[in-house]
Amino acid sequence: SEALVERYLARIDAIDRQGPKLQSVLSLNPDALTDARARDAQRENGETLGPLHGVPILLKDNIESRDNLATTAGAIVLADNVTGRDAPLVAGLRAAGAVILGKTNLSQWANFRSSDSISGWSALGGQVRNPHMLDRSPCGSSSGSGAAVAAWLGAAAIGTETNGSIICPSQVNGIVGFKPTVGLVSQQHIVPISSTQDTAGPMTRSVTGAAMMLDAIDTVDVDYVAALDANALSGARIGVLRF
């Protein structure tokens, strides 16, 4: 885990802070390496906390964590908003062994600020860039999470969605995004927009990875990984809307 965190930090410095400057990672957890070493020590002693043991995860920066990280929603007014508490979904990730690597950039206030706001821009983080083509939109308020996962800046990320903000950046950045049924993942300690639409969800590079993440963050006792079936769509009919 320590070596993996070191490699992600080096890659973030090389292509997110410098080089093409993707600007997808807003802040880094100063204790990530310490936490990774602790996970490695546990593993050496024969103890693993769960399937995400030692896995570096990024959080969209409207989700609180107890780390020495502000939760800003991309806004200057919240630049010093260090709450010292975990959102329940983050507590679930820790219980499964995950290491919180940092926070991802986003559309400021999760895009709930103007009818003409720019997708993927925040006052604190600037404009997120699509790693596949820098001048194309990274799409949606979870654009930092989508771009970071696509560019291999973390093993996986958590995004949030009110209306398309997990699905759209996952689509245009070429990753797997899953919006859980509203209420399946706790909304507590996440900067809100709509209590009837908001949900956090996994953004990963595989369906199995998304299921592993959902196992850690949901509020029910369901094993999504065990329920995966490669033949689930066998015999299904797919409709395509040509307009």
Q: Catalytic residue positions?
A: 60, 141, 165
**Which parts of the chain fold into alpha helices (H)?**
2-11, 32-44, 88-95, 143-150, 167-173, 207-217, 224-227
108: left (phi over 0), alpha (psi -120 to 50) or beta: beta
Rounded Cα distance, 95 and 50, in Å: 7
Rounded Cα distance, 22 and 235, in Å: 41
Residues whose CB falls within 8 Å of the CB of residue 117, separated by 6 or more in sequence, listed in order = 107, 108, 111
Which position has the token pair 């103007």? 114
Kindly report the number of other CB atoms within 10 A of residue 221's CB atom. 6
Structure tokens at 145: 């999470």
